Amino acid sequence: MKYRKILTALTLTTVSLAGFAQVENAGGVMRRSERENKESASPGVSDRMQGFYQTKETHDADLSYLKQVYRRLDLEKGPNAALYYPEDVIDGQENLFRIILRLVVDGKIPAYEYLDGREIFTDQYKVNVGDMLTRFDIYAQPAKGSTERNPRYVIEEADVPAGQVMNYYILEKWEFDRRSNAMKTTVEAICPVLNRYGDFGGDARYPMFWVKFDALRPYLAQQFVFISDDNNIPQYSLDDYFNLGLYDGEIYKTRNLRNQSLAQMFPDEDDMKRAQDSIDNHLRNFGKNLWVPSREEYLAMKESTEGKQKKGGKKNSEADELPVRTISVGDSAVTVVTTVVEEQEDVPVASARAKKKTTAKKPAKKQPKASSPSSSSNNANSAAEKSVRRRKR
């Protein structure tokens, strides 16, 4: 019995000491490392946040139409200026290229090779960051804690070529989903393009790498920009900017079997411009042409078209009116109006004036006076007297 009591007492003592130790560890102050402090200070993205911005790809069985389009965004255009400014870091605000390059060199998002129309986003085609920086002459140093498996680099703000990135290539995906019965447009990837002078002069474009848009979305959602010069309040984030389609980009290529761009398929600039407009209009009107309008919609469309035709008819009739002409006949002036005015309630001002002029009385022509016999005889006598006086005697 004594041994049992002793064992029980020791067991209770051990359990109480373990519980006390757990309470001390839970309530004690734990010091964080410098790396943890930096990560907490910088705006991080958790796995849950990353999963919130990832879009699930539509199953092939639910797709009835799919089109992949390549667009070129010129940052000199007004709607695309939000991607270029601010050129330098101002109050924590960065442009799109600085955000992409910082995430790539820190190893937070992967970058993929630019394969000129055959983009493959797999581990086999991931970009070696060090080789990429050397290829484009961007000076960088290895960061602390960088390893061969997880290389990271540090680039000074003055060495970032933000002013040379004047174009972006984006890969759009247009797909019609049978389940939602809607045409969806998503940006799949973004590629920054360096604009530098070539070896033989002229401006040359150098595509750097592709970055998947879903990997960028959590970081772009934290960067707000203002779109217009009228309102300087940054109301939209960069994520909203791309999802709402606020950019202005021309189509330079579509996915095709021969992997040719529109410039190769249409050497003439006018033909290429017509092809770009045709592709863009076809994509934007694809969803509208799938449905048969109801009776109410058809009548509303018919009324609107008839109203436009009436307005166009009135404008054409006004344009067909000829100006008022004034013809001088001898000492008098005759006004000739060549317009025809119909009897309508709403008569234009120009036709009303013309109608008034048509009703005006024309000035009567001067009739030569009939000569009386007395006046004719007097005239004859006077003429005879003159002729007699002029004779030579």
Q: Report pLDDT digits (tens) over 189-221.
A: 999 999 988 766 678 899 999 999 999 999 999
Other Cβ atoms less than 10 A from the Cβ of 62: the count is: 12
- Give 112's DSSP letter: B
The encoded tokens of residue 219 equal: 């970081």
Residue 79 Cα to chain centre, angstroms: 6
Take residue 284 and report the two structure tokens written for it: 């934007």
Location of structure tokens 């005759």:
334
The reported pLDDT for the residue numbered 30 is: 43
CA–CA separation, 40 and 351 (whole Å): 78
Lowest mean pLDDT among 153-162, 232-241, 366-375: 366-375
Tell whether the model's pLDDT for residue 281 goes beyond 70.
yes
Q: Residues 174, 66: contact at Cβ < 8 Å?
A: yes
The DSSP call for residue 195 is E
**Tokens standing for residue 232:** 């300087």
Residue 56: predicted pLDDT: 74
What six digits make up the tokens of 196? 């530098």
Higher pLDDT: 330 or 148? It is 148
Span 22-60, pLDDT tens digits? 333 333 444 444 444 444 334 567 767 767 677 777 777
Mean pLDDT of 230-252: 92
Q: Is the pLDDT reported for residue 382 higher than 50?
A: no
Query: Rounded to an integer, what distance in angstroms lies between the CA atom of residue 211 and that of residue 205?
Result: 18
* Residue pLDDT, tens place only, 106-144: 999 999 999 876 788 999 999 999 999 999 999 999 888
| Top-confidence residue, 317 or 98 | 98
Give, rounded to a whole angstrom, the gap between the first and last alpha carbons of the chain.
Answer: 195
Look up tokens 């373990």; give the residue.
Answer: 18
Exposure class string for 92-107: b at 16+ Cβ within 10 A, else e? eebbbbbbbbebbbeb
| Helix residue spans in 167-294 (DSSP H) | 213-220, 238-243, 262-265, 269-284
Residue 327 phi/psi, 5-degree rounding, is -110, 130
Q: DSSP labels for 20-49? A: HHHHHHHHSPPPPPHHHHHHHHS----HHH
pLDDT at 21 over 90: no
Is the pLDDT at 19 greater than 60? The verdict is no
- Over residues 248-270, the mean pLDDT reads 93
Query: How far, in Å, are 19, 30, 73 from residue 117 at the CA level?
Result: 63, 52, 17
CB-based contacts of 32: which residues, under 8 Å, 6+ apart?
Answer: 40
Kindly list the distances between the CA atom of residue 36 and the CA atoms of 33, 40, 47, in Å, as whole numbers in the listed order: 5, 6, 17
Residue 103 reports pLDDT greater than 80:
yes
Cα distance between residue 253 and residue 113, in whole Å: 18
Residue in the block written with tokens 């890969």: 171
Report the C-alpha gap between 69 and 279 in whole angstroms: 9
CB 207 within 8 A of CB 195: no
Q: Residue 16: its pLDDT value, please?
A: 52
Four-point Cα dihedral 270, 169, 155, 199, nearest 10: -30
Is the pLDDT score of 351 beyond 50?
A: no
Residue bearing the bigger pLDDT, 205 or 291: 205
Q: Are 67 and 283 within 8 A, CB to CB?
A: yes
Do 71 and 250 meet the contact criterion of CB atoms below 8 Å apart? yes
The span from the CA of 84 to the CA of 166, in Å, is 8
- Would the pLDDT of 7 be above 70? no
The Cα diameter of the chain in Å comes to: 195
* Residue partners of 374: CB distance under 8 A and separation at least 6: none
Query: Pairing mode, if any, of strands 236-237 and 224-225?
Result: antiparallel
Q: What does pTM read for this prediction?
A: 0.64
Q: So what's the pLDDT on residue 181?
A: 78
Amino acid at 2: K
CA 302 to chain centre: 31
